[in-house]
Amino acid sequence: MKKDYYQILGVNKDASPEQLKEAYRKMAHKHHPDKAGGDEKKFKEINEAYQVLSNKEKRAQYDRFGDSYSNMGQGGGYQGNPFAGFDFSGFSQGNNMNGDFGDIGDIFETFFGGGSGRGRSSANRKKGGADLEAIQEISLEDAFRGANKEITYNIFIKCKNCYGLGYLEKEGSEKCSNCDGKGEIREIKKTFFGQFAQVRVCPKCEGAGQIPKKICRECSGSGRKKEKQTINFFITPGISDGQVIKITGAGEAGEKGAESGDLYIRVRILPHSTFKRNGNDLYIKKEVNLIDIFLNKKIEVPVISGGKINIEIPEGSCIQEKLLIPNEGMPKFEGRGRGDLYIEFRTKTPKKINSKAKKLLEDLEKEL
């Protein structure tokens, strides 16, 4: 015999999803087996009907084929039932609750679309300050030696008149009349499950239990004002491009004494005209004269620490290979030692050679 799921839920065939849900809640509450007077068989029927009709595809198949379509093999299960596993044994015939269920009212209020009391309490909490990010450009020399830097920006800072509290502490406070000084209020909410007690932060005193007698005029009670703030900080030697420096508490001030945010400074190292950096190592290109190489003359090379050093190209070296100069690179960040310097040589041939120079080169060729 075909089961009439619409009749089981007590709705018309053109019932909307919202009407189906409302009907299911009422029927499930009435017949839940854990509730006094409940009917397990009827509850399973209700659950089966709702699972089919609440699913768009299943409902279409049911309307066309009745309860004999293939997915009906799942019927009777508790899939998708929002009340499954909930203990209704605490209900008496009078629909009252035994014992203190605390925040369980939040669960049902959330389920039925009202938003939890806990969420509203969060809205009344003091708002912490936002984190900020800034960019600091430095030279490669600053990254090598380290440097003291300064940054100035507009920001919400703690009000100096009330020390960030939002009120004048010396004027005193009085007990909040809304919560009788407890900082929280207890509300009774009625649902079709019965009455639930819910405790939330008092919106008037924001949980303090006291109301200040005099609000600060300088900040209009917010505890903060927008002003320029200057922060000094140190660039550690060896810092890398893109590295972030965190300065705790240098972000936006929180409201009414709440915690301040942090400042994150992202370091950008400007391109250098002489050196290229790769990690802790530096690279440089140097033009040399072939005669200087043959005569084993010392070659002058700049270094990042300042000044220049003189080097010799070892005999038998391949001019196309980079020459390594140890410990002339960048310092290792918060570590010991330095990276290396690599020199890439470039040679030029003379544009013109006179007969005398040509003869000398021919004699040199014979010697080699």
Within this chain, do residues 292 and 254 fall inside the same structural domain, yes or no? no
Residues paired with 231 in a beta bridge? 151
Q: Where are the alpha helices (DSSP H) in the chain?
A: 5-9, 17-31, 40-53, 56-65, 104-111, 117-124, 140-145, 290-294, 355-367
73, exposed or middle or buried, with CB in 10 Å at 0-12, 13-18, 19+? exposed
In total, how many domains does the chain have?
A: 4
Q: How far apart are CA 205 and CA 154, in angstroms?
A: 30
Domain that holds residue 9: 5-89
Within this chain, do residues 239 and 345 fall inside the same structural domain, yes or no? no
**pLDDT-derived band at 204, boundaries 50, 70, 90:** confident
Lowest mean pLDDT among 276-280, 304-308, 310-314, 317-321: 317-321
| pLDDT tens profile 159-168 | 999 988 889 9
Residue 217 lies in a domain: no
Query: pTM above the 0.95 mark?
Result: no
Residue 59 lies in a domain: yes
Which among 65, 59, 52 has a CA at the least distance from the CA of 14?
59
CATH number at residue 261: 2.60.260.20
CB 288 within 8 A of CB 296: no
Q: How far apart are CA 136 and CA 277, in angstroms?
A: 18
Residues paired with 119 in a beta bridge? none
| pLDDT tens profile 22-75 | 898 888 888 887 777 788 888 888 888 888 898 888 888 888 776 555 444 444
Residues in contact with 143: Cβ distance below 8 Å, sequence separation at least 6, in sequence order: 235, 237, 238, 239, 240, 267, 269, 330
Q: What value does the mean pLDDT take over residues 9-33?
A: 88
Residue 295 lies in a domain: yes
CATH number at residue 45: 1.10.287.110
Residue 218 lies in a domain: no
Distances 47 to 112, 200, 266 between C-alpha atoms, Å: 18, 34, 57
